[in-house]
Amino acid sequence: MRFGYSDTCLEHDTGSRHPETADRLRAIRRALQKKHGVEYVHADPASRAAVTAVHDDDYVDEVESFCADGGGNWDPDTVACEETWDAALASAGLAQWAAHEALDGADGRETPFALGRPPGHHAVEDDAMGFCFFNNAAVAAHDVIENAGAERVAIFDWDVHHGNGTQDIFYDRGDVYYASAHEDGLYPGTGEIEETGEGEGDGTTLNVPLPAGALATDYLHVVEQLLAPGLSRF
């Protein structure tokens, strides 16, 4: 299995008490030391053009300036340092690599994994939030549609929190299917069943809020009974 990785992502310093730290990547790498067939791959960072394809130009400029000035708290949850700019571009670039790698694999069934941070799915077009600066999945999805011949892209987001940013960026687009299984009632308070897309994107968003303590069988039900039929229609 091929893992996209960059030490640059370790340099995004959120402080020792923050829930999203570089220790997450270090822990994954330690666990992978016990596995066979692990290959680490370098990926180029995302370009500014790739990021501004899904984010507002002024917002991207603001993030760069904020980091160049030393960073700090963008909001109570979202923290940056001077190195966050490069780390965010590296993380988005890893997502791009993984998307291209999946397309290039046999029948699209190779299994690349992007080990990047900061994360991305809460970042909306013109703002950072929820630990996220650039929406890595959105950068990657748009990139393979524009530059790799993909006609459509499906994103399945399983996380305890709803990926409001990814949903918002593609909410009115018909070429990206966004599905999320997340715990009901948690941050950021979005991801209701009724949120299904609009305009050309009507019907291309699927939200499945799950109760706290949902089991693996619940997720399998989401995949088999809700996600798979939705993708077949897409």
Active site residue 122: yes
Residues 6+ apart with CB under 8 A from 153: 99, 141, 144, 145, 175, 176, 177
Which residue is catalytic, options 12, 122, 162, 182?
122
Beta pairing class for 2-5 and 79-80: unpaired
Q: Long-range contacts: 170-173, Cβ < 8 Å, 24+?
A: 170/138, 170/141, 170/201, 170/204, 170/205, 171/197, 171/198, 171/201, 171/205, 172/197, 172/198, 172/199, 172/200, 172/201, 173/200, 173/201, 173/204
Q: Return the structure tokens found at 186.
A: 């948690």
CA distance 64 to 128: 12
Q: Cα(67)–Cα(133) distance, rounded to whole angstroms?
A: 11
209 cis-preceded (ω within 30 degrees of 0): no
Distance, CA of 154 to CA of 200 (rounded, Å): 15
DSSP state letter for 15:
-
List, by residue number, the catalytic residues: 122
